[in-house]
Amino acid sequence: MSELFQHHPEAGAPTTPSRFARLRQWALGLLVFVVAAFGLALLLLPVPQAKAQGKGELRIGYQKSASLFVLQKAQGSLEKKLAPLGFGVKWVEFPAGPQLLEGLNVGAVDVGYVGEAPPIFAQAAGAQFVYFGFDPAAPRAEAILVTKDSPIKSVADLKGKKVALNKGSNVHYLLVKQLEKHGLKITDIQPVYLAPADGRAAFESRNVDAWVIWDPFQAAAEKATGARVLADGTGGVVNNYQYYLGARKFVSQNPKVIEALFEDSVSQGIWLKKNLRQAAELIAPLQGLPVDVVELALQRYEFNVKPITPAVAADQQKIADTFFDLKLIPKAIRISEAVVVSQP
């Protein structure tokens, strides 16, 4: 016992002997070894089956104006559809189609949903993506509007008039085709290029004679100001398709994911069209619009995604050629180069 507590001649008080210190260090070292070995064993254990099934994440680019995607996001229906495949869903919001296409090009998202014009501009700029699906034509979902008391009664009456529109958008093509139908060219009017919000302000203040716009902005103007539809895309003027786009590699390597996206979009679209009011009540708060405005816009869209057909690709090619002739894009493009050949 006298060896355990020795009196240190310099400290003047009992201290722990070197033998005890060595025993304590050995015990601590053993404890550290056991803990480390246990941790290593945990790392080597098989991952639980639920984790092992996880394969990836579908990153979807969307806009608030894309009502079906807004509904799917709110309902969580796609998450349920993809769960058996081991895929999660990440929704990435973009303010407009061009930004969404840029996100797709740089790899920030895997798929997206836009109108006809943005992918044409993106392809002309060298963006890499593919068309893999489209929604049926919605020619009433874009229109040339005039005020309710406007003396303008026909598109022919727009000659020499100021017409507001978003340059290079779907409605740019609608305006060109409607003018052609009535014997006019774009040079016969005074185009005023404005974004939707500025376009509506100019329209309501009577600084322009007409406004070419798409839903839900079109429906909002009709409901709020009594704006009158002078002409829309019906009668074979334009189709106004909506497109599903994706990264070529992702689409080709994940056919089951694309198939699940198609199935969920179709089923949610069927429910939406059968329950317009209820769907509008779910979507309106997320879009920041009145329910009746959203309901009117939903009536004019069709939601039944299908693989791209040669006829649809040819229609998109006509728009691209028109934009090139108008010098809106820097070079001619071939839509067929960006269309998925093998469809889900």
**What average pLDDT does this structure show over 51-58?**
64
pLDDT at 33 over 90: no
pLDDT at 324 over 80: yes
**What average pLDDT does this structure show over 322-332?**
93
CA dihedral 240, 133, 166, 325 (to 10 degrees): -80
pLDDT tens for 172-195 read 999 999 999 999 999 999 999 998
For residue 151, give Cα distances in angstroms to 145, 154, 212.
Answer: 12, 9, 17
Residue 58's CB: how many other CB atoms inside 10 A?
23
- N-term to C-term CA, the chain: 84
**What average pLDDT does this structure show over 314-325?**
95
- pLDDT computed for residue 203 by the predictor: 98
**What average pLDDT does this structure show over 203-221?**
96
Cα–Cα dist 329/331, whole Å = 6
Return phi, psi of residue 155, to 5°.
-60, -35
- pLDDT computed for residue 274 by the predictor: 95
- pLDDT computed for residue 38 by the predictor: 40
Question: Is there a contact between 296 and 114 (Cβ–Cβ < 8 Å)?
Answer: no
pLDDT at 206 over 50: yes
pLDDT tens for 77-132 read 999 999 999 999 999 998 888 889 999 999 999 999 999 999 999 999 999 999 99
Domains and CATH numbers, the chain: 52-138+241-338 (3.40.190.10), 140-232 (3.40.190.10)
Give this prediction's pTM: 0.78
Cα–Cα dist 45/254, whole Å = 29
Q: Could you tell me the pLDDT band of residue 11, with boundaries at 50, 70 and 90? A: very low
CA dihedral 192, 193, 198, 201 (to 10 degrees): 20
**What average pLDDT does this structure show over 54-73?**
89
